[in-house]
């Protein structure tokens, strides 16, 4: 594969001084990888685990083989699950991408950050570097070399670039968007992703991202590193290499009848290859390239002797999109606070620390990654930076109970879209309450007995509604949640 300029040369270490200034006075280790002697870096490598966080875009809960899908082929992700822990009640902190990404890099609820919907083009909202110490900055202060490969979507005013990833202290920023993310551009020259300045005809963006992730690992194998590999796939418009699409079309036709794949997914009015059908040859092909990339990352870690000392995490930013994603038996999809919009596949592997082949239904959230990574890195949380999440480290490595049984969501849809979906939600134990704003409606579900949210218990259980409503209202006040414009 023809190499890019990697963007690294232009951005690497640019933000380290700013990061150090932001972290001054914290109890974290303040040495950075830059300038540290190689011997000391190797000692750090032995003491601190590497962290690889892989994020898919719009991947529904029911798309992976290890989550019950029999049409898509995900052997590497299934293998990863067999080697680590699979979460069946893992949640994105929002039903759309930007707020979930904000929750991951800040460790805070999106309502506290003030990013609660996807960031539209040229919006004034962004993740302000002056206000937040991002997870990569906190890890950088503990001696980690940090890198982002791919999607950021926490600032869309690219001319001003006040809140891009390069402003948030990453040592390396590779292949991130410099134009608004819209309808794909999955093949070279990646019109929306111009930080890849070279490539070859028909090169697939997902493959390029995976290769850049592997190169990041090779470059930094002698020091502790944090890699945020953020795929643009499987976000619509659905596009994949023709040979893989043909493979899954044949599989679809064998299952549902000859010619059905072309009829459903390639009609003259279906430019994005969408259908209400749960099996989609285009999405399956896109997911196979992600799966291959994850497998290559796993091999790269093994080849460099890093697999045993690396936490490898796979997650999705929100539920599968309408007419595209498979969200299992859960209700609705992306943009809704029903389970189909927020419950995600989550796999974590850390040999010797996380029991292989384990599974849990304990509810966790994207707000939990920040404190989890810090604890595993032996790094204290930055002083003065609020963390809403809890560390999963004691739970995944020692089986200890989590010190939390309540999770919250707030989706006021500040872009003005989907007013019928404007809502807030709280889950405590098995019960989940959703408050809809447009018609002042409240719904209550017992997720243990009704994960599909078919039976609204609000009228039958007014005391439970009152309890959860009080919790939700108190939390909204605490995080200064904005009032939806109904």
Do the Cβ atoms of 286 and 238 come closer than 8 Å? yes
> Which CATH class, in words, describes the domain spanning 8-404?
alpha beta
Among the listed residues 316, 329, 322, 359, the one whose alpha carbon sits nearest the alpha carbon of residue 447 = 329
pLDDT of residue 18: 44
Model confidence at 412: pLDDT above 80: yes
22 falls in which pLDDT band (50, 70, 90)? low
SS3 category, 41: helix
Mean pLDDT on 108-131: 95
Mean pLDDT on 56-74: 98
Task: List, for residues 224-250, the tens digit of each pLDDT value.
Answer: 999 999 999 999 889 999 999 999 999
- This prediction's pTM: 0.92
Task: List, for residues 313-326, the tens digit of each pLDDT value.
Answer: 999 999 999 999 99
pLDDT of residue 282: 98
What are the b/e assignments for 346-373, b being 16+ CB within 10 Å? bbbbbeebbeeeeebeebbbbbbbbbbb
Model confidence at 288: pLDDT above 80: yes
Return residue ranges of the chain for CATH 3.40.720.10.
8-404
Mean pLDDT on 119-139: 95
Model confidence at 13: pLDDT above 70: no
pLDDT of residue 202: 86
pLDDT of residue 232: 96
Mean pLDDT on 269-286: 95
Mean pLDDT on 379-395: 96
Q: Lowest-confidence range among 196-205, 458-467, 470-479? A: 196-205
Do the Cβ atoms of 240 and 257 come closer than 8 Å? no
197 falls in which pLDDT band (50, 70, 90)? confident
First to last CA, the chain: 51
Q: Which residues contact 258 (CB under 8 A, 6 or more apart)?
A: none
38 falls in which pLDDT band (50, 70, 90)? low
Mean pLDDT on 378-384: 93
pLDDT of residue 396: 98
Question: For 353-440, where are the E strands, in sequence order?
Answer: 358-360, 364-365, 406-411, 423-428, 431-436
Return residue ranges of the chain for CATH 3.30.1120.10.
405-486
Q: Which fold is adopted by the domain 405-486? A: Arylsulfatase, C-terminal domain (3.30.1120)
Which of residues 3 and 322 earns the better pLDDT score?
322
190 falls in which pLDDT band (50, 70, 90)? confident
Mean pLDDT on 73-102: 98
Q: Lowest-confidence range among 193-197, 355-359, 465-469? A: 193-197
152 falls in which pLDDT band (50, 70, 90)? very high
Q: How high does pLDDT run on average in the chain?
A: 90
Q: DSSP class of residue 420?
A: G
């Amino acid at each position: 594969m023809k190499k890019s300029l990697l963007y690294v040369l232009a951005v690497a270490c640019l933000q380290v001084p700013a990061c150090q200034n932001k972290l001054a006075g914290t109890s974290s280790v303040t040495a950075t990888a830059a300038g540290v002697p190689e011997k000391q870096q190797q000692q750090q490598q032995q003491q601190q685990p590497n962290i690889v966080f892989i994020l898919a875009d719009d991947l529904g809960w029911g798309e992976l083989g290890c989550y019950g899908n029999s049409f898509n082929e995900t052997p590497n992700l299934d293998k990863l699950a067999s080697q680590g822990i699979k979460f069946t009640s893992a949640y994105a902190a929002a039903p759309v991408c930007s707020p979930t990404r904000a929750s991951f890099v800040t460790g805070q609820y999106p309502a506290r950050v003030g990013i609660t919907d996807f960031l539209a083009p040229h919006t004034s909202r962004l993740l302000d570097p002056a206000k937040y110490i991002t997870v990569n900055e906190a890890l950088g202060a503990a001696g980690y070399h940090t890198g982002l490969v791919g999607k950021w979507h926490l600032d869309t005013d690219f001319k001003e670039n006040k809140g891009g990833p390069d402003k948030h202290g990453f040592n390396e920023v590779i292949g991130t968007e410099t134009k608004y993310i819209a309808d794909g551009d999955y093949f070279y020259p990646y019109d929306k992703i111009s930080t890849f300045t070279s490539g070859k005809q028909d090169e697939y963006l997902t493959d390029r991202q995976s290769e850049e992730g592997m190169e990041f690992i090779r470059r930094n194998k002698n020091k502790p590193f944090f890699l945020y590999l953020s795929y643009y796939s499987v976000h619509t418009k659905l596009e994949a290499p023709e040979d893989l699409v043909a493979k899954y079309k044949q599989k679809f036709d064998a299952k549902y009848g000859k010619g059905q794949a072309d009829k459903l997914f390639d009609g003259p009015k279906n430019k994005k290859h969408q259908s209400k059908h749960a099996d989609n040859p285009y999405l399956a092909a896109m997911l196979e390239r992600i799966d291959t990339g994850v497998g290559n990352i796993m091999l790269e870690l093994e080849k460099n002797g890093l697999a045993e000392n690396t936490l490898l995490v796979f997650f999705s930013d929100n539920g599968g999109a309408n007419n595209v994603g498979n969200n299992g038996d859960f209700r609705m999809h992306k943009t809704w606070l029903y389970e189909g919009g927020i419950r995600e596949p989550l796999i974590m592997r850390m040999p010797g620390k996380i029991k292989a082949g384990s599974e849990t239904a304990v509810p966790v959230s994207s707000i939990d990654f920040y404190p989890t990574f810090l604890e595993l890195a032996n790094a204290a949380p930055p002083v003065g930076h609020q963390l809403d999440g809890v560390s999963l480290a004691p739970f995944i490595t020692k089986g200890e109970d989590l010190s939390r049984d309540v999770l919250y969501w707030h989706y006021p849809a500040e872009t003005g879209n989907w007013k019928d979906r404007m809502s807030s939600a709280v889950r405590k134990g098995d019960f989940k309450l959703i408050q809809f704003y447009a018609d002042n409606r409240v719904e209550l579900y017992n997720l243990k007995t009704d994960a599909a949210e078919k039976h609204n218990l609000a009228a039958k259980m007014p005391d439970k509604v009152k309890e959860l409503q009080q919790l939700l209202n108190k939390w909204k006040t605490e995080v200064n949640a904005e009032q939806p414009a109904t």
